[in-house]
Structures are given as C-alpha cells and as structure tokens.
A and B are shown apart, each in its own frame.
Chain A
Amino acid sequence: MPERSFEDHGARVRARLGDAAFWAAIWVVSGLALVYLLLPTCIIVGASFTTSDFVVFPPVGLSLRWFAKLWELEAVRVAAARSLGIAAAATAVAVVLGVAAAFPLVRGRFRGREALNALLMSPLVLPSLVYGLAALIFVSALGFSLSITVLVLSHVAIIVPYVVRTTAASLALLDPHLEEAARSLGANIWRTFVHVVLPNLLPGIATGGAFAFISSFDNLTVSLFLAGPRVETLPIRLFSMIEFDLDPSVAAISTVLVLITLAVVLLAHRAVGLTRIVRL
C-alpha cells in the first residue's frame, strides 16, 4: 500500500492514532453486532438444558430431561411430522417449477426476460402477512375450504423464488458448450439434461431446495392465516405453547430447530459455498 507522506513526525503519529481509533471503533461495533446476532439463539439453546421447571438463562443445572420429554408430547410430534410433510411436498413442487423456470431466465433471449425475472422473484418482496391474508380471502371466496393442500400450495408460492435464484445462478456458470458437445455426440435433449446439465446444477438446486425447505418448515405468518385450527404446524404449536403453556420443553424444541438450521447452513456451504450464496 502506498505510504502517505507527512510533513512532520507529529502528523504521522496523529494519523496512525486516527486510523487505530477508526479500526477500534469498527471492531467494537462489529463485535457488538455479532454478539447481538447470536445472543437470543444461544440463550434459548442454553435454557433448554435447565433442570428447573421454568425457562431461565443461565440454566439451573444441566440435564437432558426436557429433550427426553419431547418424545411424550404427542401434539408436538404430530405438528413436527406435519411440518416436515408440508415442507417436503412444497419443496418438491417448488423444485420442479423453479428448475424449469430457471432455463428461460438464463438461456432465453426473448423480450420479456426481465419481466419474467421480476415476476418470479416477487414473492420475496411482498410481505408474507399480506400474502397470507390475500390467499385466505382468495381460497375462501372461491368456495374451497382450508386444507393441507391449500397450505402446501401457499408455501410453494413463497419458496419458489429461492429455487429459481440458486438454480439460475448455477446454470449461468455452466458452459453451454458442454451441452453442445453432448448433443453433437448424439444425445437427445433429455439425456443431455439428465447426464450433463443436472449433475452440474445439483449443488445450486440443493442449496435452493434447502433454503426453500427451511423457509416452509419455519413459516408462521402465512400458516397462521391458512392452516386453520385443525392443521397445526410446528411453528404454530410453538407459538401457542409460548403463550399458553410455557416450560423448558419449548426451549428444547427450539434447540432441535436450531440444530436443523445449522445442518442446512452446513449443507449449503458444502454444496455451493457460503460466500457464493451471499452474492445471490
């Protein structure tokens, strides 16, 4: 780095101190921000190991009793299974829709390409509160009753952008000459897709799918509007447990959820690399 030139020693010292103060400030604020980001999650995870009957941090003693209790909470098991099923179904549909849509977005040369991109990304910009209400009114006005299918489809709508985005990013990095080469060797479009394109897209699809899955699994706002009292998802059960029936088992459930999230983030890193995800 080119050195600054100074008239006297004193100015150089002042400049160094100024820089040092600047970096100190940056580091302090950044450290604060990092602690701030992690604190609530750490508190819940810590509190889940308490031996006491109520949620407290630091925990009173350490035990796994609240995790053991999770197995007995039938309502929680039911809600968790339901959430898993919904997320799996929604992600499957979103992947099919999203991967297909990524191709015209990246390879297409037609006029509406920008508009198509905006359209496919729009569920990300619209607040889920507004969408949840809109979907509720829409479905009921059309005469359908609320059901798991209605809920799954609404999740598809809000998670499809994740799949489109990561698949398109992966696809954009893929050299079209590879496909050209395969085709020139006699493969048809389908075989080219399955054996040449798909393997290279898989990391992007997997990452988008993972984000999509977690978004559906964690979703509360849209589910509150569309699930109806008989269809309880895990976030809904958590939400009502915190209001009606708060004890450390809620913290234990939360810890399990955090571990699942951790797994997803690690998966995404393995597949695509976190630094690349950020650029999406």
Chain B
Amino acid sequence: MDQPLEPGDQGLSRGLASRLRLWQLALPATLFLAVYFFAPLLMLFWWSVRAPEGGALTLANFASLLTDPFFFQTLWLSLRLSFEVTAITLALGFPLAYLYTNLGSAARLAILFITLLPLLTSAVVRSFGWIVLLGKQGLINQGLMAAGLTDAPIRLLFTVAGVRLALAQVQLPFMLLPLINALEQLDPSLEPAAVSLGASRFQAVLRVTVPLAMPGVVAGAILNFALTMSAFITPAMVGGGSFIVMPTLVYQSAIVTLQWSKAATTALILLMVALTVVWTGTAVAKRWHYGAREGAADA
C-alpha cells in the first residue's frame, strides 16, 4: 500500500502496538518525571513556605535567612565566585572555540576529545587533582619556587583563589560546548567578507563574529553561571571544611543539622538568584542581538 506514515496510524495489524497513539509513547517518561522530578520540586517549595514545626504558610524561613549577615556573606561569595569563574571560562573558552572553527577535522577531534574527557570524568576526581596541584608540595608551588618567584610555598589550597582556579577548570568544558555550537552556526563567509573589505582579522572577529555569536555565547554563559553557583563538590574539596558557599549551606542544613525547612529555603533562594541572572542575561542578550543585527547591516 502506498500510504504516507501518519501519527497514530492504525497500520496493517492488530494488537496493542497498533492502537498506540504516538503521543502516548511519551507518557511513561512524562509521568515518571512528573512524579519523581517535578513533584519533589513542589515539595521543596512547600517546605520552604511552611513553618518548621508544621502547619501554616509563612515567609518566616525566608525572612530569617535574608536578615542573617552570615547568609548574605555566603550568598555574596557564591555570586562573586560564579561571576569570576564564568568570566575566566569565557576568556579561555572563546579563543579555543574560535580556533576550533578554523581548524581541520583531525585537530577538531583532538580538541573535542580533550574537552569531553574532563566533562565526563567525575568532579571528585578532578577536584582531587586540584588538591594535589595546589598543595604546598604541589606542582604550582614547585614551579614558583623553581622559578625563584618565592622562597617558601604559598598557601593556595583551601583559599578562594584555589577554589576559583579549580572551579573554572571544572566548568570550562561546559562552557566550551555551547561556544563551539554558537560559532559553528555562523555563516562562514561573513568574516572573510569583512576582511576583504579592509578589516584586520582581529577587527573582523570583534565587529562581526562576536556580536553575531553573542546570543549563543550568552546562553552558554548564563547556564554555566547557574551551574557554578550550585556546584558543591569542588568548593567542598578544594575549599576545605571552613569554605562555605551556598551549596555548602544547603548540604549542612539538610544532612548535618537536619533542618530541612532551612535547607529548602536556602535551595530556593539559590535557584531564584540563579534564575534572576538567567533572565537578566537573556534580556541583555536580546538587546545586544538586535543591536548587532543593525550594526552588521550597516557594515
């Protein structure tokens, strides 16, 4: 028979398989996520707005956290750290992504390999590497002393600087993939066109490539920001027992002090702050995009 395939097609046979509608195939996954992913999130929200002893709705949990200077200190540290890490990963990632788009397939494969390997390696292993690297007997201190830049090893482990370095490396693969995607989707003839019109390569990149890639770049950056802000493992391992960021607070209240209301509230504040950054970033990117369009049209 010469019929085109249609969703929900009855087909030629009997049996359960033929009576299935196409959308029903999505039901198992959807139901599962509804029960085991979204319902818990709702429960989380519920626990943050109910009083710890149970009962009425209240915003007291939020109030008590938001008026606590230590909480604000921690929130600020998390925000600051995430911005810095995102900036570092952008600064390192963009040139590498740009290089990627200008290389042949063998080199591209190599770069992808080097990107995917750490991405799929457990954060525990990578943070462990940083513990060894940043220690007083670690490679960095060895190098500094060999170069004569310092007599005694400097303290890098368990400091903000150490966590920043480690976290940026852990997040770099996550930043690279969207950057590569964004750059790959650009029209490859635009940059050479700009060059032929008299721009240097650098100017072409700055004035043409970057603005056009910006939406994808910003999307990747803000996703990374949110992930960095909620990273628990690396700050815990490389920052040490005294290093407290927002995820540490969530973990401590949930598992160590068993104050689930506090944990839920902290987690929600973390989510909301991250979301705010995402929305702001997306809005800024949209303006940029339209601005860039006009700019490119003039060029």
Q: Which of B63-71, B115-123, B210-218 forms part of the interface with chain A? A: B115-123
- Given A37-B115, A41-B129, answer yes or no on A220-B124 (Cβ-Cβ < 8 Å): yes
Chain B residues positioned under 8 Å from A40 (CB to CB): 118, 126-130, 132-133, 166, 169
Q: Residue on A with the closest CB to B199?
A: A4
Q: Which of B12-20, B149-157, B281-289 forms part of the interface with chain A? A: B12-20
| A63 in contact (CB, < 8 A) | no
Describe B's contact surface by its main secondary structure: helix
| B residues 222-259 touching A (CB-CB < 8 Å) | 223, 226-227, 229-233, 237, 247, 250-251, 254-255
Chain B residues positioned under 8 Å from A41 (CB to CB): 117-118, 121, 125-126, 129
| A225 in contact (CB, < 8 A) | yes
| A137 in contact (CB, < 8 A) | yes
Asked if B132 and A26 sit within 8 Å, CB to CB, the answer is: no
Chain A residues positioned under 8 Å from B277 (CB to CB): none
Chain B residues positioned under 8 Å from A136 (CB to CB): 254
| B280 in contact (CB, < 8 A) | no
Asked if A129 and B23 sit within 8 Å, CB to CB, the answer is: no
Asked if B22 and A43 sit within 8 Å, CB to CB, the answer is: no
Asked if A29 and B95 sit within 8 Å, CB to CB, the answer is: yes
Asked if A221 and B232 sit within 8 Å, CB to CB, the answer is: yes
Asked if B180 and A278 sit within 8 Å, CB to CB, the answer is: yes
The 8 Å CB contact of A274, one of B20, B26, B109, B127, is B109
Q: How distant is the Cα of A206 from the Cα of B175 in the complex, in angstroms? A: 25
Asked if A33 and B15 sit within 8 Å, CB to CB, the answer is: no
Q: Residue on B with the closest CB to A139?
A: B40
Asked if B255 and A257 sit within 8 Å, CB to CB, the answer is: no
The 8 Å CB contact of A218, one of B32, B36, B116, B122, is B122
Chain A residues positioned under 8 Å from B270 (CB to CB): 127, 129-130
Q: How distant is the Cα of A3 from the Cα of B202 in the complex, in angstroms? A: 16
| A residues 246-272 touching B (CB-CB < 8 Å) | 250-251, 254, 257-258, 261-262, 264-265, 268-269
Chain A residues positioned under 8 Å from B200 (CB to CB): 15, 18-19, 22
Q: How distant is the Cα of A25 from the Cα of B51 in the complex, in angstroms? A: 57
| B7 in contact (CB, < 8 A) | yes
A12 CB to closest chain B CB (Å) equals 12
Q: How distant is the Cα of A165 from the Cα of B215 in the complex, in angstroms? A: 22
Interface centre among A27, A127, A215 (most CB of B within 10 A): A127
Asked if B139 and A278 sit within 8 Å, CB to CB, the answer is: no
Q: Residue on B with the closest CB to A42?
A: B129
Q: How distant is the Cα of A255 from the Cα of B109 in the complex, in angstroms? A: 23
Q: Residue on B with the closest CB to A4?
A: B198
Asked if A120 and B33 sit within 8 Å, CB to CB, the answer is: yes
Q: How distant is the Cα of A220 from the Cα of B123 in the complex, in angstroms? A: 8
B192 CB to closest chain A CB (Å) equals 6
| A116 in contact (CB, < 8 A) | yes
| B60 in contact (CB, < 8 A) | no
What 1/0 flags go to A124-158 for Cβ under 8 Å of B?
01111111011111110100000000000110110
Asked if A184 and B29 sit within 8 Å, CB to CB, the answer is: no
Q: How distant is the Cα of A108 from the Cα of B7 in the complex, in angstroms? A: 6
Chain B residues positioned under 8 Å from A205 (CB to CB): none
| A1 in contact (CB, < 8 A) | yes
The 8 Å CB contact of A275, one of B17, B25, B28, B108, is B108
Q: Residue on A with the closest CB to B170?
A: A40
Q: How distant is the Cα of A33 from the Cα of B2 in the complex, in angstroms? A: 56
Would you list 15 pairs from A and B whose C-beta atoms are within 8 A, ordered by A residue? A22-B205, A37-B172, A40-B126, A40-B128, A40-B130, A43-B132, A43-B139, A134-B264, A137-B40, A160-B32, A179-B5, A188-B12, A189-B17, A225-B255, A242-B131
B residues at A contact (CB < 8 Å): 1-5, 7, 9, 11-13, 15, 17-18, 20, 22-23, 25-26, 28-30, 32-33, 36-37, 39-41, 43-44, 47, 91-93, 95-96, 98-99, 105, 108-109, 111-118, 120-133, 137-139, 166, 168-169, 172-173, 177, 180-181, 184, 192, 195-196, 198, 200-202, 205, 223, 226-227, 229-233, 237, 247, 250-251, 254-255, 260, 263-264, 267, 270-271, 274
Given contacts A55-B132, A123-B33, 4 further A-B contacts (CB under 8 A): A133-B250, A133-B263, A261-B117, A265-B120
